[in-house]
Structure 1
């Protein structure tokens, strides 16, 4: 069984992009496909995946940044943003966020 955990940043941002049902659909899909996203180079295994946004399809969609800890059965949703707002988040920032969350969880 895989558990999906939202970071405080993700929890704050997702309502700007999705309904509750859309969020649930994404989380269920990601739990079934945890390694589907592209690994962000230099991030320590953080992944980025495209997902549709409120009737806009993938092209006008969002990017969800996440990482997995397969041995513990966890997926961490780090952040979400519209493709039109930001192309990439620097890997060193993502890596620092990941480390902070893991340290706080263990």
Structure 2
């Protein structure tokens, strides 16, 4: 699969603190190979959360990084919304899920020519 990666501000702001360039390339390769690898986060309109191993700190997937993303297949794009270390936060709050859903809806409207999209 070929896709363009779109780093949204929250992701871009924290990426260099959390991932070096090699790890970021590995993350991109994983998402290109398995774009639906992450679990769908309820209440976000279809955003996914993927566990990613953090090699710098010798943590496996369970203690590593969480990546919030969306695959927009018709546009061949993967939108990277956020990433955080497991130790920084466990599960997303309901308020955070609502904010992410609103951000997904905004991105969809800004990046597509379609008038409607079904959000879960």
The normalised TM-score by structure 1 is 0.90
Check if 1:69 corresponds to 2:83.
Answer: no
CA RMSD after TM alignment: 1.3
- Tell me the distance in 1 between the aligned counterparts of 2:39 and 2:107: 21
* Partner of residue 61, structure 2: 58
Higher helix proportion (structure 1 or 2): 2
- Tell me the distance in 2 between the aligned counterparts of 1:99 and 1:60: 30
Check if 1:94 corresponds to 2:100.
Answer: yes
- Tell me the distance in 1 between the aligned counterparts of 2:59 and 2:91: 20
- Tell me the distance in 2 between the aligned counterparts of 1:5 and 1:61: 22
Check if 1:11 corresponds to 2:12.
Answer: yes
Kindly state the Cα deviation for residue 6 of structure 1 after the two structures are TM-superposed: 0.8
- Tell me the distance in 2 between the aligned counterparts of 1:27 and 1:96: 24
The normalised TM-score by structure 2 is 0.81
Check if 1:104 corresponds to 2:110.
Answer: yes
Kindly state the Cα deviation for residue 59 of structure 1 after the two structures are TM-superposed: 2.3
- Tell me the distance in 1 between the aligned counterparts of 2:68 and 2:99: 12
The higher radius of gyration belongs to 2
Partner SS, residue 91 of structure 2: coil
Which blocks of at least 5 consecutive residues in structure 1 are unaligned?
Answer: none
Q: Which stretch of structure 1 is more off in the superposition, 29-38 or 92-101?
A: 92-101
Kindly state the Cα deviation for residue 22 of structure 1 after the two structures are TM-superposed: 0.5
- Tell me the distance in 2 between the aligned counterparts of 1:15 and 1:82: 13
